[in-house]
Amino acid sequence: AQTIHQWPVAEIKAVGSPLSLGCTIKGKSSPNLYWYWQATGGTLQQLFYSITVGQVESVVQLNLSASRPKDDQFILSTEKLLLSHSGFYLCAWSLDSGNTLYFGEGSRLIVV
Amino acid sequence: AQSVTQPDARVTVSEGASLQLRCKYSYSATPYLFWYVQYPRQGLQLLLKYYSGDPVVQGVNSFEAEFSKSNSSFHLQKASVHWSDSAVYFCALSSTNSAGNKLTFGIGTRVLVRP
């Protein structure tokens, strides 16, 4: 069975500090991977997606970047956090032939 | 452009009562439609999905949804709710030929089940 793990579960970070959120998929080779952002009490917005290792497409510009260093790993990062980066970050995967996304448990970020 | 509208931000129902959550979509072709549920401080869990065929789809935990092309709708229903159904429910649409399988979400409907 496929499992998706996100880390850290939660973080409180200062404005201007760096950030790195991670996501690992086990049990599925070459999945499509996604990062979504959810403002508190809000809907979900796709940030990035990746179809293969080393290839990442940006959907919206939020002063964030993403990388896929391994087939099963997706990293979201920034060098300088903004207050507006606060929220809930969700990683998801799908089959390359399917449209169903399966989400991780999320990482909650509070920027102070 | 594709969009999803969930007109009800909050719904309160009594335990044992029926529940219907509305979802309207806008898309030029036949979409892939989904309902996800989000429990407090958790990720999203897939309830059900519609690709084609029978417009009534069954999901987990006795949820079902009905697709209507004429009404551009995909309403979610449950005959008898339990207190554990309290959560936020998201309707989502995926275009059939989008690179990267981009899901467009509605704003979500927060459901509170009163004991």
Structural domain total, chain A: 1
- CB-CB: which of A6, A46, A57 is closest to B103? A46
Residue stretches of chain B with pLDDT short of 50: none
Q: How far is CA B115 from CA B14, B78, B85, in A?
A: 6, 16, 11
The answer to whether residue A97 scores a pLDDT higher than 70 is no
**CATH number of the domain where residue A94 is located:** 2.60.40.10
What are the structural domains, with CATH classification, of chain B? 3-114 (2.60.40.10)
- CB-CB: which of A45, A94, A106 is closest to B43? A106
Residue A103 to residue B43, Cβ atoms within 8 A = yes
Q: What is the pLDDT of residues B72-104, one digit of tens each?
A: 999 999 999 999 999 999 999 987 555 566 789
Strand partners, A78: A19
Q: What is the pLDDT of residues A25-54, one digit of tens each?
A: 999 888 999 999 999 888 899 999 998 999
